[in-house]
Amino acid sequence: MSVATKLQSSICEPRAVLGPGGNRVRVSEAPKRKNEGLKKPPQRPRKPVSEIPEAVVRNNVSVDSTCSSDTSSSCSSAKTVSPRRTVRHKSLRPAKLVSDDMEVVKSAGPPKRCEWITPNSDPVYTCFHDEEWGVPVYDDKKLFELLVLSQALAELSWPEILHKRDMFRKLFDDFDPSSIAKFEEKKLLSLKVNGIPLLSEQKLRAVVENAMQMLKVQQEFGSFSNYCWSFVNHKPIRNRFRYGRQVPVKSPKAEVISKDLMKRGFRCVGPTVIYSFMQVAGIVNDHLITCFRYKECDANDNKLDLKLKTEEKTEVLKLSEAMEIGEHK
């Protein structure tokens, strides 16, 4: 046979057509069997369910388990999958069993503090913020100490003051007003020399003068605490500032207290000093509402309010009982 004849015969042969099921030869164009009477190859007998490999059964079960009762028609096709074919479903993952007794544990991070406390802040200052700043104080010696430290803010920062706090307490006899009021000129000079001048001479003299005036306030009001808290009706002022820029350096209430203290002979007690004193003594709660200490101080304030209300009710009952007894007599 010539080359041309071979080419012609190859061109006339039917070619595979790309059908919907893939590159297969269509049934109509497929060549007929030469021997139509040829027997079909014997089919292998299907194995019973008990002999099917366990891995295949699991694959089929995973497919069947995804079918609901509402989609029985679609499930029937999944159940007839041949054991030899494995169907992979990437979206199917093993379910995690969670008991009712298990609790979801969240990752514990650092508590949210006020903006002026950063990760780089002095640990002493951070501890001061977390434990003292904004907590209501009612002890006279403690209040006098915080007043002196607030006066020192004009020359030192809080971290510097806190690092030298023990030195302050040693020089000022643990902030005992009755002892400080007896300081003489010689003692003041020794404070200036040996105190590594913590405060200027004007501030040192103001501390001694304020101790004298505080003794007078104690005699008039019973305690310096009663005097200070009387300006806010014995209840802390709760500011709800969200940002640090909203916190003021002074307030109208601080100006009122400052003027009254000056009239009584106190020195170096301007509105800015008094507002710092109110903040650190807990007379005003200036923790930001995003700070964890705001809620804690607020909870303590609520307990205090409940205690005061209970005491007021008790006093009213005592007065009413006394009036009833007087009427009967």
129 is in an annotated binding site: yes
Q: Which two tokens stand for residue 269?
A: 């007690």
Scored b (16 or more CB within 10 A) or e, 208-217 reads bbbbbbbeeb
173/182 Cα distance (integer angstroms): 11
- How many other CB atoms are there within 10 angstroms of residue 205's CB atom? 18
Residue 274, class by beta-carbon neighbours within 10 Å (0-12 exposed, 13-18 middle, 19+ buried)? buried
287's CB contacts (< 8 A; 6+ apart) are 114, 133, 134, 293, 294, 297
Which residue's structure tokens are 């590159």?
23
114 known ligand binder: yes
Q: Contact 236/283 with Cβ under 8 angstroms? A: yes
Question: Taking the CB of residue 127, how many other CB atoms lie within 10 A of it?
Answer: 13
Residue 287 annotated as binding site: yes
Whether 291 has a binding-site annotation, put simply, is: yes
Distances (CA, A) of 236 to 142, 223, 265, 289: 17, 18, 26, 15
C-alpha separations of 303 from 227, 288, 308 in Å: 21, 20, 9
Q: How far apart are CA 191 and CA 61, in angstroms?
A: 89
Number of Cα atoms under 13 Å in the Cβ half of residue 165: 13
Helix (H) or strand (E) holding 148: helix 140-152
Is the backbone of residue 174 left (phi > 0), alpha (psi -120 to 50) or beta?
left
For the annotated binding site, the residues are 114, 129, 287, 291
For the annotated binding site for Zn(2+), the residues are 114, 129, 287, 291
